[in-house]
Amino acid sequence: MGLQLHGLTPIARSDVKHSPHSSPREYPGSSGAASEEEVSTIFGPVPSRRLGRSLGIDVIPPKTCSFDCIYCESGRTTCLTLERQVFVPPERVIRDLRSHLSDHPGQTDILTLSSAGEPTLYAALGDLLQMVKGIFPELPLAVLTNGSLLWDPVVRKDLRWADIVIPSLDAVSSAAFQKINRPCGGLTIDAILEGLHAFRKDYRGQLRVEVLLVAHHNDHPAELAKLARVLRTVGPDAVELNTVVRPPAFPGASGLPQVEMEGALAHFAGLNARIIGSYQGGGICRPDDRLDQRILDLLGRRPCAAIEMAQSLSVSPAQMEQSVEGLLKSGSIVAYSHGGALYYCLPTRGHQRSRDG
């Protein structure tokens, strides 16, 4: 049964056929060679605190999202929408992925659909995930989503190809949901919860729900108790508690100290819940003559500290420092401090704009 979303913008469905036995269809422009101006759809590996060295697959133009979260590390949403589109042909993503994996062997733990935006807005998602699983079966495939489109049966069907799906759920009360996630008009928390329940029912992979806690927004014991109650009815494989660590889109969004995170964790007893810890990277350091571009690709998606970038891109701290200094000098990146740490980002990121605004 379809969900009733009062006042929801009609969603453009892709004409992609979703049969597990069918071959992915061809998309316009899918067979052409790369042009000089094309930005890679692959970035990282990103130093993910929960997945390890996660090679990012980004199919969404920045910053296209169904939410405009106050804590977003990718800055303010500039295109707030629920309309799904094929922003890039899946064949081009596969080509970028092949090229990256052959240039940087052994540096990836997992492939992750993640972006400065919402990945389920990609209308060819099912085809892309199917192709990636078919071509790179040895690498686990994850999708990070805000869960806002799970009420759509096509989206739920698309996601079945992923080994791990991590939807976020920051609040179950409408007021807190609106305040933190600032959703596209017409999108309600009730519809999202209904979608999450339906997805759990059919999905055979690993479902982990991320809850991001923002001080004075969704950390009240009553909200946490309510959230935990709802999650028990969903029955995810795990719950991951997170907080604001990187510079947020809105300066008022701040994280919880460790002691309060542990207090919050107590509410989620029986849900296989944990607090997401710091990234523990490492491995072999290699010289990389494309390092500047890889740093720009990474910072194009989210701000990072130098040590995180060195660990995830497998270069020495000294080599990273040298590249960062050159990029700062040329004005390609900017630095600013947040929570006592120094972060780097592109000069055009929304963080700076939101601070001014």
Binding site for ligand SF4 (CB under 6 A): 65, 67-69, 72, 74, 77, 117-118, 146
Pick the closer one to ligand SF4 by CB: 94 or 184: 184
Shortest distance (Å) from residue 167 CB to ligand SF4: 10
Pick the closer one to ligand SF4 by CB: 74 or 314: 74
Return the ∠ at Cα 100 (arms to 32 and 53), rounded to 5°. 140
Shortest distance (Å) from residue 178 CB to ligand SF4: 13
What separation in angstroms does the CA of 99 have from each of 104, 137, 194, 262, 285? 9, 16, 40, 42, 20
Shortest distance (Å) from residue 96 CB to ligand SF4: 21
Number of residues assigned to the chain: 357
Buried b (16+ CB within 10 A) or exposed e, 47-76: bbbbbbbbbbbbbbbbbbbbbbbbbbbbbb
Pick the closer one to ligand SF4 by CB: 101 or 244: 244
Q: Which residues face 167 on adjacent strands?
A: 145
User: Phi and psi at residue 269, in whole multiples of 5°?
Assistant: -55, 140
Shortest distance (Å) from residue 278 CB to ligand SF4: 20
Tokens representing 250 are: 């809105």
Residues 268, 281: Cα–Cα separation, whole Å: 28
Pick the closer one to ligand SF4 by CB: 72 or 295: 72
Pick the closer one to ligand SF4 by CB: 207 or 324: 207
Tokens representing 261 are: 């995170």
Shortest distance (Å) from residue 100 CB to ligand SF4: 22
User: Phi and psi at residue 91, in whole multiples of 5°?
Assistant: -60, -35
Three-class SS of 285-325 = CCCCCCHHHHHHHHHCCCCECHHHHHHHCCCCHHHHHHHHH
Pick the closer one to ligand SF4 by CB: 139 or 249: 249
Pick the closer one to ligand SF4 by CB: 81 or 332: 81
Cis (ω within 30 of 0) for the bond into 45?
yes
Shortest distance (Å) from residue 342 CB to ligand SF4: 22
Pick the closer one to ligand SF4 by CB: 77 or 107: 77
Shortest distance (Å) from residue 163 CB to ligand SF4: 21
Shortest distance (Å) from residue 224 CB to ligand SF4: 20
Residue type, 127: D
CB neighbours (10 Å) of residue 302? 21
Q: Which residue has the tokens 């999708």?
A: 143
Nearest CA to 345 out of 289, 310, 291, 305 is that of 305
